[in-house]
Structure formats: structure tokens, C-alpha cells
Amino acid sequence: MLKLSSVLELTAKGLKDSTENWKDFEELKSLFCCKTSAMYDYVAAHRQDDDFYGFQFLNGVNPNMIQLCSQIPPNFQVTDAMVKPFLQEGTSLEKEMKNGNIFFCDYKTLDGIQTRVYNGEQLVVATGFCLLYMNPENKLTPIAIQLLQQPAKENNLFLPSDSETDWLLAKMFIKNADSIHHQSINHLLNTHFVVHGCALATLRNLPLIHPLYKLLIPHFRQTLHVNTLAQTRVKDRSGISSRTTLTLEGRLKLMAQVHQSETTYISLCLPENMAARGLMSVPNFHYRDDGLELWGHIQRSVKRSPFHTMWS
Ligand SMILES: [Fe+2]
């Protein structure tokens, strides 16, 4: 019903199947003219603000990349002098790292992953770093972006003091890399395919009366069905794969590499994951606060269940 009403609305506005490009952000407003909300208005007004950009690494779609930075990676060419103007007066990058106020995202897993050709040109994906500073107002803000892993002389390192369009474009390249990582790893791999293995192992190896089976099975109610649909869609070369930055082969290679090198039992446990990334005391990190509360409820519920008593 929702889909039908959306199609009717797009048809009425002359936008259904349209291949015209948007000319500016003002035109986008026509798409949402009947559906404004406080959230929409806030995002539209603050979409280019550095504070809001930083906030999204903690509380946006993908809070899984950011980590505490206690040492700048050797191939990240940022220096103290470069970022000093964006830190509080009288401090330095070294001092702020010691105080636990510097964070970074590293997109090295995208290095060497095959991208699609669009209009005869090979698409480029950022594989570098975004450095962020938790300022005295407890606002996380980007202070340097290096687009590629390999240091280069030109067009690689960007700062908030660069021209507005250069800095905006650098932030967009990083967001694109972040989005690719989120959809391929944190969504498709970890929430669909890793769970698929757990569901199959439960169905194949545990008897119906096993305490673990009883605890797990309600959570796998639609896993196999949804994953079968997801696999069909992901592997359809005329579908999603024909519109994203990576090729199908590139996406599968990325998932296989990350699964082999980074997926561990601990990495899937929220408290340990947060601690390993140095994020336990970051202010205004609602994803962590809500997630740990939920984690605690599930843990207490499992411990209270008769299955746990039988099992332990
Ligand atoms: Fe999903």
C-alpha cells in the first residue's frame, strides 16, 4: 500500500521513471514537499556543517568505522602544523591524542577493490582516512581527509581551510567509501550472511530440545527467506550491482577479505567491540549507550531463562 501511494505521488509530480539530473538541492524539496519533518528540516539546513558530518560517524547509519587514534598511521600524511588551526588554542595533535580527543576512520579495506566503469570512466573510491577532533564543546568535527592509502603529492590531503567545494567533495568521497563499507560489511555480510551461517548451524546441528536451539530459533524466523531474496538481488547484474561504485566481483571480494581478516567472535560482541575501538567514554555516542543497554537486557534475559540454569 505504501509502495503504491509512493508510486502514485511520484507519477503525480512527473518524477516517476525520470532520468533528469537534479540541478540543485532546492529541486529536491519538491520531492519531499508533502513529507517534511523536523529531522528533514534539520538535515537540509545542516548537511554541510562539519559538526553534523562528524556526528554521523557516531550516530548515523554506520557507527562501525570510527576508532580512537593514539598514533597517526605512517602512510597518513597529516601533520601537527596542518591541523593546529582547527584545534583548541594552545594545544597540539600529540596532546589531543594523549587526551583521547582524536579519532579516525580508515578505509584501507577498499584498497585494490574493483570499481565499475561508468560512461567510459573507471569510478574512483576513496581508500584513505578521515581524522576527527572531539572539541571542548563535545562536538566531533573532521580536521583532515586523505583520500588514498598511498601518500601522493597532489589532490590527496584536504583540510577544512581548503576551498568550500574541495572540502565538501573530499567529505563526500569519504562518505561514499563509508556507505560502501556499511552496506557491504556491516549490513550485507554481518547482519545477513554471518547470521545465515548461525541459522543453518542451529537447524542442522542442534536438537529441538537443546537450550541453545530454544534461545536462538525465534531470532532466525525469517533469516533464510530474507537472505535468499538478498542473494538474488545482490547477484543480479542488471539490478543493484549495475548502479553502485563497486562491481559485483569487487563487492564479493571485499566481503571475503574483511570476513577472513577482521570478523572474530569478539568483533561481533558490542561491549568488547566498543572497548577495542576505544569508544567507551566518547560523549554523545547514543548508538553505544542504547546498544549496550539492549545488550544488557538480552544478557539478563538469557541468564534468567530456565535454559540457562539447565545449561550452566
Ligand atoms: Fe537487510
CATH number of the domain that residue 137 is part of: 3.10.450.60
The Å distance, Cα 121 to ligand 1 centre, comes to 30
State in Å: Cα 201 to ligand 1 middle: 20
Annotated binding site: 187, 192
Within a domain: 216 = yes
Binding-site residue positions for Fe cation = 187, 192
Assigned domain for 3 exists: no
Q: Ligand 1 mean position to 154 CA, how many Å?
A: 39
What per-residue confidence (pLDDT) applies to 311? 59
CA of 192 to the centre of ligand 1 (A): 7
Domain assignment present for residue 7? The answer is: no
Tally of structural domains, the chain:
1
Does residue 21 form part of some domain? Answer: no
Tell me how far apart the alpha carbons of residues 193 and 209 are, in angstroms, rounded to a whole number: 26
Report how far ligand 1's centroid is from the alpha carbon of 197 (Å).
15
Q: Is the pLDDT of residue 168 over 80?
A: yes
Mean pLDDT of all residues in the chain?
91
* pLDDT exceeds cutoff 80 at 146: yes
Residue 175 lies in a domain: yes
Is residue 6 situated within a structural domain?
no
183 CA → ligand 1 middle, Å: 9
Model pLDDT, residue 237: 80
Whether 61 is in a domain gets the answer yes
Q: Ligand 1 mean position to 276 CA, how many Å?
A: 26
- Cell output for 138: 563535545
Q: For the segment 269-301, what is each residue's pLDDT rounded down to a tens digit?
A: 999 999 999 999 999 999 999 999 999 998 998
pLDDT of residue 176: 97
Give the CA count within 13 Å in the CB-facing half-sphere of 222. Answer: 3
pLDDT bin (cut points 50, 70, 90) of residue 155 is: low
For residue 66, pLDDT beyond 90: yes
| Ligand 1 centroid, distance to 180 Cα (angstroms) | 14
Q: What percent of the chain has pLDDT over 90?
A: 71
Domain assignment of residue 192, given as a range: 49-312
In a domain, 142, yes or no: yes
The amino acid present at 192, given as its one-letter code, is H
**Ligand 1 centroid – CA 188 distance (Å):** 6
Band (238; pLDDT cuts 50, 70, 90)? confident
DSSP string, 209-239: T-HHHHHHGGGGTTHHHHHHHHHHHHH-TTT
**Residue 48 pLDDT level (bands cut at 50, 70, 90):** very high
Predicted local confidence at residue 22, as pLDDT: 80
What sign does the dihedral 42-243-21-48 (CA atoms) show? positive
Cα(219) to ligand 1 centroid in Å equals 14
* 189 Cα to the center of ligand 1, angstroms: 10
